[in-house]
Amino acid sequence: MRSLITTSAIAALALSLATGGAFAAGRHEGTTSTGPENGDYYQGIFANDDVAPPAPAARPMTSVVVVEQPRLASILHELRAANHRMDAERTSGKLSSVAFGRLRREEQNIRADATEVAAKHDGRIPTSSYAQLQRDVHRLDWNIARSA
């Protein structure tokens, strides 16, 4: 009796594995991609199997390196951090109202410069302007520490 149950269990397991393998290795009609990662086994796993890579866009040669908006976001994030630091120093009484006003105006001027440069360059900040804005933000941080 034990042999019949064991044999039936092994036969059922073998049939289920064979059936599962047959379903997993089903045919994929109409595949034109070639390459080691796009064979029959891998077809359909990668999202863009049938899509050709985009053609490189022709860009004019410029001497100024321009980067997308992460530079603007970085500057604005640093200014928000400086703003929070000024507020904390002011509420703790370490920063006078005159120094607070002067630092607030300096922060607003840097923010205005950053958004103006980004507006002139389609939302981007060139390398030289980014370096100057970074120096301005570091000088603002130093002024906050010195005034507190």
pTM for the complete prediction?
A: 0.53
Do residues 120 and 134 lie in contact, with contact meaning Cβ atoms separated by under 8 Å?
Answer: no
Amino acid letter, residue 61: M
Domain boundaries, the chain: 71-147
pLDDT at 83: 93
Q: Which residue has the higher pLDDT, 11 or 65?
A: 11
Say if residue 134's pLDDT is above 90.
yes
pLDDT of 79-109, one tens digit each?
999 999 999 999 999 999 999 999 999 999 9
CA distance 141 to 86: 9
Each residue's pLDDT tens digit, 9-64: 787 877 777 777 766 666 555 555 555 555 555 555 555 555 555 556 655 555 55
